[in-house]
Structure 1
Amino acid sequence: MTMRVLLASLAAGAVTLPVPAGAPAAAVEDLTIRSVTLHPATPVVGPADSVRMVIEVVARGVTGPEGVRIKVEPGAPPASAGPSFPVTAPRPGAPGRPAPERGPALAPGPAPGPIVTARLAPGPISTARLAPGAAEATAGRIVSRPGEGWVTWRFAPEKSLSRWYPAGPWTVSVTARGADGAEVTGHTGFLLKRLTRFGGVEAVRGNSGVRVTGVLNRVDPQGALDYAPFPGQPVEILHRPGEKAGWTKVAGATTDSHGRFARTVGDRTGGEWRIRFQGTSHYAPRLGIVHQVTR
């Protein structure tokens, strides 16, 4: 993915990867990478939509307008890729960290700042083009100075993530360059997931209890359809006696080769029902809508 500097940010779905207390993530004397923030932390794509990521790096001791470089590529980081940034949730206004901005969503048009030439071939996005290569970028503009010498650098892909990119783990490597050519590199990762959804869910009262049935679908991994059955996956059956009551898991089921599931719950006769799928490293979790018992 080609990266460029943006002057707008996403307001939600971020994860900050800070340096643990007393142990900078990556540093050479005063050259330090303090944190990396991903917006959104776990991008989820559907059959036709896409997600544009923003990656913010807080560093100091950087020399030159291209002193921070970003590489984003499919796969988990190798053991030799450099120090990792531990994953924690961002705390708005925490000391020493820039507070999340509440600015506008990313505009679809070009953003200010230099555009780095893509290593990927031009044309429509396809798995064949994207899987073998990595994308690199350099920052050309400082976004903000939070204080104490810390500077925020902001990057975003020129191409949005879509279903045609490989699902699962991706690596973000960050390299900062200081005086005399000294460099430090750290890395973190994220999961690119595809949407899931339920279809045909029913809760029907019978002689032996309530029969709950339905189908779990996922974005078709082959690309031939929008959605395809998701076989061999565990789903949870949730129940509550009324609107003001809490949800309780009362049973579970596993989808068959056609994505279908069925389970009879014998100790419930009424109330409200819904299905939950916890997700995988490649597919997003899903919480179904509320269903009333029929018959």
Structure 2
Amino acid sequence: MCGPKCRGLQQPTGHTAAECELLRTHNLGAALTAVADKPDLVKNYYELILIVRIFLLKQHAPDKYDNILKMESHTELRKNNIELWQYYEQNVVQRLQRDWGMAAFTVEEIHNICGILDVNCFEIGQNSAKARCLYTSAFLLAHDCCPNTAHTDDPHSYAIILRTSRAIRKDDGITLSYAYTLQGTLKRREFMHAGKLFWCCCQRCADPKELGTDCSALVCPKCKSGSVRSVEPLNQTAAWKCDRCEYTLQSTEIVKLLDAINMNLESIDAHNIPGLEGFFEKI
């Protein structure tokens, strides 16, 4: 990796000559090879690559770097999340300054870029290969849990493709969903708060029946005929109650149940049709 014939020497983007020199100078190719049989450690290396490329833009394409700095980072909110802040301090900031020869970049600069990536990146990739990608204009699109667009990425160019999912009237905002639209409100809001650092209060999240989809409703375990829903959807700790017998469950019990269901589903191979059918019959 990163020798005289490295393709990065000829590329203007992606793995460039500047990145090639950095990896070669600090012998990072050998370090990566040494942990090649440990997926988690390999993943840690690749998580740093995007951050490194952004800082290389500061040196070699400052106009592009300045455009990235215009994106929201929520740095102050991230500081209040001690666990999140310490994770990036130990696994990103210290490693970049110590192992990657990037001591010229301040702790504040690195944390700011980490925040920008977490808040504005899109997940791209087909099948099992996934990556994070930062787009220069798509980050401006607002979130809604009932969005008027759907997006995907081109498997060859990685360009983002945006399509309308319903008619958009003049002066209406163009929205997309940062979360999985098939998830219920509790998990959608939890996901967005963890990654994007805000609690969604859109029309769908505020409606106990999720605009008629009833995506969050559970069959009452007591009367078997009622639906159990949150009594206050915009409150993550609110109780859930049956609309027939008023049987009540605490939100902590609902979270455990949803986590168990999700783990069960993820354990089934996507091509295992009988397994998936059995799962849906069970729940």
**Larger helix fraction of residues:** 2
The structure with higher relative contact order (CA 8 Å, sep 6+) is: 1
**Larger strand fraction of residues:** 1
Using the size of structure 1 for normalisation, the TM-score is 0.25
Using the size of structure 2 for normalisation, the TM-score is 0.25
